[in-house]
Structure 1
Amino acid sequence: MADALSVIPAAVLRNLSDKLYEKRKNAALEVEGIVKNLATNGDHDKITAVINLLTNEFTYSPQANHRKGGLIGLAAATVGLTSEAAQHLEQIVPPVLNSFSDQDSRVRYYACEALYNIAKVVRGDFIIFFNQIFDALCKLSADSDANVQSAAHLLDRLVKDIVTESDQFSIEEFIPLLRERMNVLNPYVRQFLVGWITVLDSVPDIDMLGFLPDFLDGLFNMLSDSSHEIRQQADSALSEFLQEIKNSPSVDYGRMAEILVQRAASPDEFTRLTAITWISEFVKLGGDQLVPYYADILGAILPCISDKEEKIRVVARETNEELRGIKADPAEVFNVGSILSIARSQLSSQWEATKIEALHWISTLLNRHRAEVLTFLEDIFDTLLTPLSDSSDEVVLLVLEVHACIAKDPQHFRHLVVFLMHNFRADNSLLEKRGALIIRRLCVLLDAEKLYREFSTILEVESDLDFASVMVQALNLILLTSSELSELRDLLKKSLVNPAGKDLFVSLYASWCHSPMAIISLCLLAQTYQHASAVIQSLVEEDINVKFLVQLDKLIRLLETPTFAYLRLQLLEPGRYIWLLKALYGLLMLLPQQSAAFKILRTRLKAVPSYTFSSEQLKRTSSGNPYQIIHHISGGSNISEDGDIHEDEKNLHNGIKFTLRLQQFEQMQHLHRMHAKAQAQAQSTSSSPASPKEVERPEESTRPTPAEMSRPPSRSSRRGPLGQLQL
């Protein structure tokens, strides 16, 4: 310090700390001249002493005016050193940078001014301090004092000029600092950062694109800034980078894809649009590099397909089609399971369009990689059943197509029907609202006969009798009304002459026994009118309840539809179809006279041509055994509905054992009656407790013995409209 004091007059040092700027400025000029002379003489030791004096006694002084004088003195010393200033920068720059955080705004201002003058002198040698200067400028860009901000901006422009013309700038050292600053929310800092990114990207020798993944997320974060100017600057920078990506032969798509996937779910609309646009370009450009990220990309695209903004929806749909069009090999890095998991998760979306595209993806994977998809069947099957109750018909139809594709294998076919039955049992509303659509569509996609046989097999042993009855009624109604099942109806009409029709009739009969009206409908459809009459007359008082009458009302109305046109035409020949007449009159007698169904059927029967029956026909129709009459089928040939009576005509009636079938029906109805009584007793017990003996007596008195259940019911045991048929 003594050397410095001997070089710099005391008056100069006194003026350097004066409160008046002019005196400090004149003192600084004196210092500049002194340092210049010392540099000319090569006396660098004294120059070092002068710099140390200015640093320790002035810039680090507790007095603000001393700090101001020290800063202007260091700048003057640098100017005096001119070309030799580089060797003293390690002493000069740190105290100036330290002053950027001074509490006095005027000191911070003079620090900017000092560093500006220093940078003008040393230019490229200044780069070694770039990171520290950048960090300081980043903070000053958000300074509370407008004058400091203005001075910082001037310094920032100079530093940018120096960096762009320098060949010593290290982008590798700078990027970590930039990445750290990118999440700052201050708008001034954001503008500062975007400005630097843009400037550095414009320098040909600096490869900013290679480091884009390090600060890409920060740029996307700025797209949702409240300042329009910042959003515009960030968007401009991103657009420039995207254009560079299109023209670049090598790009790290993977790391950026992860960032874009996250930003595609941003609550900000503009951010989502930009992210999905980038993803769209990546899918077109990335090729094999993006294969490991297909699942993540799909997870970003599917929700955007249902975005409220139309532009986002359009880009997302285009990207989705582009991605689905790429055929990748699972043997490589293409993960079928992860994509399947994403598609499955989107099935729970609240948006219809997203669910539809998710189902398209599952269908595509099944078609291309069936074996791989089926290995995940246990994981996805339950999820695929949930959309069956969706409010959208299109979603339901698509998920049925997926199920049908899976069910091409026999074991999966059985699996599907069992699960469907379970869901119908667990959710009554599913059967009520979607049952018809599901079953009809599956009949188209799969084999209708095979599907109905499988349903029947499962329902035959169904323990929940109430559900079995409802399910059979639903299946029966679909069978009678759906255009998709016209071939199945045609096959059933030939049950008495066609082995395939007979097999189907027998297969359905076992489960159709759960519903009297379903059995009667099946017999009318199969033209087994004598058996239909026998079933009607086997009904007892407990069978004819409100539910029965509602089903009967539906059947009467169905008889007026085109499905039963053949039956109505057969009424033109009452002599040939006497059992048809008896069955219809039997139904008429079960209907309340004031009901609309009674009037419809009575009106139809009144239209039957009058016909005189022979005494033999009347005798047969009124005899105790309803199976001793010859039945006529279309074509003019006579067949019997009872193979035990006419052994020589077994081939004609296909060997259907109608006596056994009737026993099967009565036994099933007996189970239903016992079940209904048990329910009634349980309800009465809960409301008014009764003695055990009183609860047990009704069941004991009505339970038939095994011998009675195996014996065909006699006419006397049946309750129903008996008597001679008269026309």
Structure 2
Amino acid sequence: MADALSVIPPSVLRNLSDKLYEKRKNAALEVEGIVKQLAQAGDHDKITAVINLLVTEFAYSPQANHRKGGLIGLAGTTVGLTSEAAQHLEVQIVPPVLNSFLDQDSGVRYSACEALYNIAKVVRGDFIVFFNQIFDALCKLSADSDANVQSAAHLLDRSCKVTNDQSINQDIVTDSDQFSIEEFIPMLRERMNVLNPYVRQFLVGWITVLDSVPEIDMLGFLPDFLDGLFNMLSDSSHEIRQQADSALSEFLQEIKNSPNVDYGRMAEILVQRAASPDEFTRLTAITWINEFVRLGGDQLVPYYADIIGAILPCISDKEEKIRVVARETNDELHAIHSDPAKGFDIGAILSIAKRQLTSEWEATRVEALNWIATLLARYRPEVITYLNDIFDSLLRPLSDPSDEVVLLVLEIHACIAEDAQNFRYLVVFLIHTFRSNHILLEKRGSLIIRRLCVLLESERVYREFSTMLEDENDLEFASIMVQALNVILLISYELTNLRELLKKALVNPSGKDLFVCLYSSWCHSPMATISLCLLAQAYDHASAVIHSLVEEDIDVKFLIQLDKLVRLLEAPVFVYLRLQLLEPGGYPWLLKALYGLLMLLPQQSAAFKILKARLKTVPPLSLTGNSRSRGSSENTDNDISFAANLQQFKSMQRQHQAHLITRQLSRISLSTSSPQDAQRSKGRSRSASSSTTSGQFHH
């Protein structure tokens, strides 16, 4: 220290700790001159003594002004040393400056920025050895509470990037043995999720600078800070969003031109960001995913499930640009034929698709089903092994409000139902669903059943439904379900072949078997039974069924069904029957059956008038001559036991009547549980009766 005091005048030391900046600055200039002379004389011991004095007595002094003077003095010393400064940097000059960045006094922090700025201009490349420490300090100072310190830090930051018109890029390249990107990246990663806008600008700036250095492989470390860049896309500052987007665009371009990219780690990040609440972030993420799918090849195969999970919700995004890119990416993935042996995880994709079946958005549900259908078509044996995990989830969409969803899931079930057990399970589920939701049966039943008939063969479908309904315990539902199946059978073009087969029931073994199968469950509904007999041209049995009806069978529901049948008799499906009326001698049982129906209808009803008008067109028997009677089971060689069928029908109707009586008694028992309840029930019954009577046949 004595050596230092001998070369630095007391007045200079005094001014170095003065409260006025100008005095400290002038003192530093004098120190610079003294050190320059010592350097020229080669007096290294005294130079070291001067530096030690500035550090111990000033830079680490308890007095703020002393610390400020020490920092500016160290900067002056560095300038005086010029080319010899490097040997004093690491041990003596830079550590106290770095330490001052954490000083409680904002003036000291400002002086530290100023000092390091001047030091950096002198030492250039030698400065890189402190890069990580300076980066850490600048990151903190960029968010300093003092605006002057922020400005000084910003100036220092720029000087670190470009020193005396020489880019630090060149310094880093030159001193690559001193700069370690491997040590720098963890420090960068730790700070990427900081929300402070000044810090974010600082970080993006350095990422951009380092990425511009050809010898530094920032792309290889992109997965370490990619999430942070995406996080900045939703920043409230337009400038930060723009800077982050610019950096990401540059990296994406590099990815397109690079043969070696770690797609996997980045795909995981992109999948998360595709679900961001921020629209711009979602768009950028889905755009990256789209490029990855094009470029990633086999690297991305293990991540397909996660990618599909990210894409499916985006297909229904409110932003059209996102929807377009998501659909394009989805189509790209569909076009790829991957090998399960190479990491293509069918189970994971099925799980993702299953989860998206509950999406509130129709487009997403549709695409989820498309993925299941695609997997079934390409990897059926593998998909079937996961059937227990997804089957129940594939049943629920059958009641989806979207027709497209229902039709798609039916196609999937048709593929699955190649196995008889799965087909039976499907029919059981449909019956259970229709039983618990009559509205669904009314609104969607026809669509579901008709489509199944197209996909799985109508006879197979109707046979299975009939077998299940024959032993249905809920008789009221069985009647409703059979009526629905009957109407679909009579009017749907998809069931034309089935109707043609039934028309030959009296002469064709296959038609006979089908008639017998359906009859067992059609007995749940008198009108369905009569319709089936008319369709099969079993007119004598139709007449027998009509004559077997008793008073209890003729209720409002029956008359409504009869009304529908009469109107159907005028439809194209029964054109053959109407033409047969031209030969009353040949089809006496048909005529008798139709007159039987006419007798059941109230005379003032529209159906009565329609059927009566039709029967009036039947020519007299004298005009047609005596024809051999047809449409009678007695004149055929079939082995249908119509007598047994009639007993079966009567037995089933007795069960329905007993069930109805039981329900009525139960209602009466409940309604008479108290005098007040009985009175209310009586009033309701009277009102309901009046309402029913007044509107019975106005459809």
TM-score by length of 2: 0.92
CA drift at 1:45? 4.1
Pairs within 5 Å for 1:128-277: 128-161=129-162, 163-166=168-171, 167-168=175-176, 169-277=179-287
What is the deviation of 1:156? 1.1
Instruction: Decide which moves more: 31-40 or 562-571.
Output: 31-40
Closer, same or farther: CA 612–684 of 1 in aligned 2, 3 Å: farther
In the alignment, what sits opposite 1:518?
A: 528
Counterpart-to-counterpart distance in 1, 2:433 and 2:521: 19
Q: CA deviation at 1:41?
A: 4.6
- CA RMSD, 1 decimal: 1.9
| Structure 2 residue corresponding to 1:586, chosen from 570, 589, 596 | 596
Q: Which residue, out of 310, 334, 355, partners 2:365?
A: 355
Per the alignment, do residues 235 and 689 of structure 1 end up closer, same or farther by CA in structure 2, a change over 3 Å counting? Answer: closer
* Residue 24 (str. 1) matches residue 29 (str. 2): no
Task: Give 3-state SS (helix, strand or coil) of 2:518's partner.
Answer: helix
Deviation string 1:618-650 (CA, Å, 9 cap, x unpaired) is xxxxxxxxxxxx8415xxxxxx524xxxxxx6x
| 1:397 partner SS | helix
Distance 1:26 1:404 in 2: 92
1:651-673: CA deviation from partner (whole Å, max 9, x where unpaired):
x3311110000001111111111
Instruction: Measure, in 1, the Cα distance between the counterparts of 2:486 and 2:605.
Output: 23
- Select which of 669, 677, 684 maps to 2:653: 669
Q: Aligned equivalents of 1:525 and 1:76: distance in 2?
A: 111
Choose the corresponding residue for 1:287, options 297, 302, 308: 297
Q: Deviations over 1:235-254 (max 9, x none)?
A: 11111111111111110000
Question: How far apart, in 2, do the equivalents of 1:357 and 1:519 lie?
Answer: 42
Deviates more, 1:44-53 or 1:502-511: 44-53
Equivalent-residue separation in structure 2 for 1:407 and 1:429 (angstroms): 26
- Deviation of residue 448 (structure 1)? 0.5
CA contact (8 A) 2:197 2:240 kept: yes
Moved more, 3-12 or 440-449: 3-12
Residue 632 of structure 1 aligns with which residue?
630
What's the secondary structure of 1:276's corresponding residue? helix
In the TM superposition, residue 613 of structure 1 has moved relative to its aligned partner by 11
Secondary structure of residue in 1 paired with 2:193: coil
Confirm or deny that 1:366 pairs with 2:376: yes
Identical aligned residues as a percent: 78
TM-fit CA distance, 1:362: 0.6
Find the aligned partners of 1:631 and 1:343 in 2 and give their Cα distance: 61
The code of the aligned residue for 2:122 comes to V
The answer for the alignment partner of 1:682 in structure 2 is 666
Please identify, of 48-57 and 456-465, the stretch whose mean Cα deviation from structure 2 is larger: 48-57
1 CA distance for matches of 2:673 and 2:646?
38
Distance between the aligned counterparts of 2:279 and 2:637, measured in 1? 72
1:15 aligns with 2:15: yes
Aligned pairs for 1:440-459 within 5 A: 440-459=450-469
Equivalenced residues, count: 663
d(CA) in 2 for partners of 1:552, 1:3: 124
Is 1:48 matched with 2:58?
no
Amino acid at match of 2:633: E
Q: Cα offset for 1:150?
A: 2.5
Report deviation, 1:415.
2.1
Match runs of 1:522-533 below 5 Å: 522-533=532-543
How much has 1:108 moved relative to structure 2? Answer: 2.1
What residue is the counterpart of 1:724 in the other structure? none
In 2, the alpha carbon distance for the partners of 1:267 and 1:421 equals 42
Is 1:655 matched with 2:639? Answer: yes
2:544 to 522, 531, 534: 534
2:314/2:326 contact within 8 Å kept: yes
C-alpha separation between the residues in 1 aligned to 2:623 and 2:475? 42
Work out which of the residue numbers 567, 581, 585 in structure 2 matches 1:557. 567
Query: Which deviates more, 656-665 or 540-549?
Result: 540-549
Shift of 1:42: 4.4
Counterparts of 2:125 and 2:361 in 1: how far apart (Å)?
58
Q: Can you list the C-alpha shifts for 1:400-438, whole angstroms capped at 9, x where unaligned?
A: 111111112222222222222222222222212110000
* Partner SS, residue 369 of structure 1: helix
Aligned 8 A contact 1:440 1:478 in 2: yes
Q: 2:346 & 2:77 partners in 1: Cα distance?
A: 70
The separation in 1 between residues aligned to 2:329 and 2:658, in whole angstroms, is: 62
Amino acid at match of 1:526: A
CA deviation after TM superposition for structure 1 residue 612, in Å = 5.6
Deviation at 1:57, TM superposition (A): 2.3
Maintained 8 Å contact 1:574/1:608: yes
Tell me if the contact between 2:523 and 2:649 (Cα under 8 Å) persists in the aligned partners.
Answer: yes
- Cα deviation 1:528-584 (Å, max 9, x = unaligned): 111111111111111111111111111111111111111111111212211111111
Amino acid at match of 1:416: L
Unaligned runs of 5+ in 2: 675-699
| 1:691-710 correspondence to structure 2 within 5 Å | none
Q: 2:613 is matched with which residue: 586, 592, 603?
A: 603
Other structure's SS at 2:111 match: helix
Where 1:632 maps in the other structure, the secondary structure is coil
Is 1:57 aligned to residue 57 of structure 2? yes
- Give 1:43 shift: 4.2
The letter of the residue matching 1:641 is: S
CA contact (8 A) 1:631 1:641 kept: no
TM-score (norm: length of structure 1): 0.88
Deviating more after overlay: 181-190 vs 209-218: 181-190
Aligned residue type for 1:164: N
State whether residues 16 and 28 of structure 2, in contact with CA within 8 Å, keep that contact through their aligned partners in structure 1. Answer: yes
Residue 519 of structure 1 and its aligned partner are, at CA, apart by 0.2
Shift of 1:27: 1.5
1:66 Cα offset (Å)? 1.5
C-alpha deviations, 1:436-492, integer Å up to 9, x for none?
A: 000001111111011101111111111111111111011001000101101111111
Distance apart, 1:85 and its partner CA: 1.8
Q: Is the 8 A contact 1:513 1:669 kept in 2?
A: yes
* Distance verdict in 2 for CA 1:84–1:599, change over 3 Å: same
Q: Mark the runs of 5 or more structure 1 residues left unpaired by the alignment.
A: 618-629, 634-639, 643-648, 691-727
Q: Distance in 1 between matches of 2:44 and 2:410?
A: 89
**Is the Cα contact below 8 Å between 2:226 and 2:266 reproduced in 1?**
yes
Contact kept, 8 Å, 2:585 with 2:629, in 1: the verdict is no
For residue 313 of structure 1, report the CA deviation from its aligned partner. 1.1
> Structure 2 residue aligned with 1:496, among 492, 506, 512?
506
**How far 1:601 moved relative to its partner?**
1.2
